[in-house]
Amino acid sequence: MWDLGLVGFGNVGQGLARILEGKRGPLRERYGFECRVTFIADPVKGSVLNPSGVDLGSVLEEIEKTGTLKGHPDATEKDTLSLIRGDYARVITEATYTDLSTGEPGVSHIRAALEKGVHVVSTNKGPVSIALPELLALAGSKGVSYFFEGVVMSGTPTLNLAREALAGCDITGAMGIVNGTTNYILSRMEEGMGYDEALKKAQELGYAEADPTGDVEGWDAAVKVQVLAKVIMGEPIKVEDVDRKGITGITPDDIASAKGRGARIKLIAEVGRDGGKLVAKVAPREVPLTHPLAGIMDATNALTLVTDHLGEVTIVGPGAGRVETGQALLTDLLAVHRKHGRG
């Protein structure tokens, strides 16, 4: 039985909780995986603690009714780091808000867990961008795992595809649509919406944050390019090294003009080599309608990996969503279970 702590209880944490609540039997029968959530820590919604196991159904009901955990019977005043450093969990999920400039608070959460000898699975891009070598080294020194499948395409298994399914291949490049918010906006603009209206719709649907800068200016995609460069190509770069341009300058006339040339404008993330030098960039590009990426619409993501043995391999799937990203955490939890035993 794995004792599990959930750090961050927004859409992603709630998505995982719903999966765990609904699939206890199948997870036990198919994978021999059993867990109990001993604490949930969220800096905004509050925290709950029960070493015997939090009732996920009641927690989800409380969140749905009140938007907070502060009135739950298991509510605690302990702060997040105290819960992580306590002897409450052998594995934590980290899915808090991402500050792409500092990686905090995720870096501190993950570092504290690893120092304690606790496994970490995370969808948080900030720590991977800012502190991946340090955190992996710390995990190795403590004999625990730090997995982060969900940082590129949520529940769509991009990193596992590259590292596991394509083991033995040299991956020489990658390009794709890795930000669902901007792809949704561009899809709506093609239907005739203006940029501001399309952005508002994306915010209403939960695809875009109240401050959409990270998405529409290309920062989110740039961090994902940085992760791809590090993880699948072995090139440690900074996010500032990514040549970045967002979609805020795209107009309906640009969309119509591209359509007249038999193309669609997509925000394309790309990493590869040119004459031995790594090239990493994010920019709107006209993609011919004959290209597979041109057909990727709405909040869907797609990534093409260029390999020596198989040529181009493309994976398509959701790049956002509560349950979809929760699935990425579950994938990594099962990987911890396979690697380290039954808890």
Distance CA(270)–CA(165), nearest Å, equals: 21
Residue 122 phi, psi dihedral angles, 5° rounding? -150, 150
Our CA angle for 4, 323, 230, nearest 5°, is: 75
Q: Which positions ≥6 away from 274 have C-beta within 8 Å?
A: none
Question: What is the SS3 assignment for 8?
Answer: coil
Closest CA to 68 of 9, 127, 25: 9
Within 10 A of 230 (CB to CB), how many other CB atoms are there? 17
Transcribe 219-264 into DSSP letters.
Answer: HHHHHHHHHHHHHHH-----GGGSEE--STT--HHHHHHHHHTTEE
Which residues have CB under 8 Å from 252's CB, separation 6+?
189, 192, 194, 195
Which of 116, 102, 98, 107 minimizes the C-alpha distance to 135? 107
User: Residues 6 or more apart from 256 whose CB is under 8 A from it?
Assistant: none
For residue 74, the one-letter residue type is D
Please, are residues 105 and 117 in contact by the beta-carbon 8 Å criterion?
A: no
The active-site residue, picked from 45, 224, 266, 281, is 224
Task: List beta partners, residue 266.
Answer: 285
**CA-CA distance, 202 to 299, in Å (whole number)?**
9
Is 201 in the active site?
A: no
Would you call 317 helix, strand, or coil by DSSP?
Answer: strand
Please count the other Cβ atoms lying within 10 Å of the Cβ belonging to residue 66.
13
Active site residues: 224
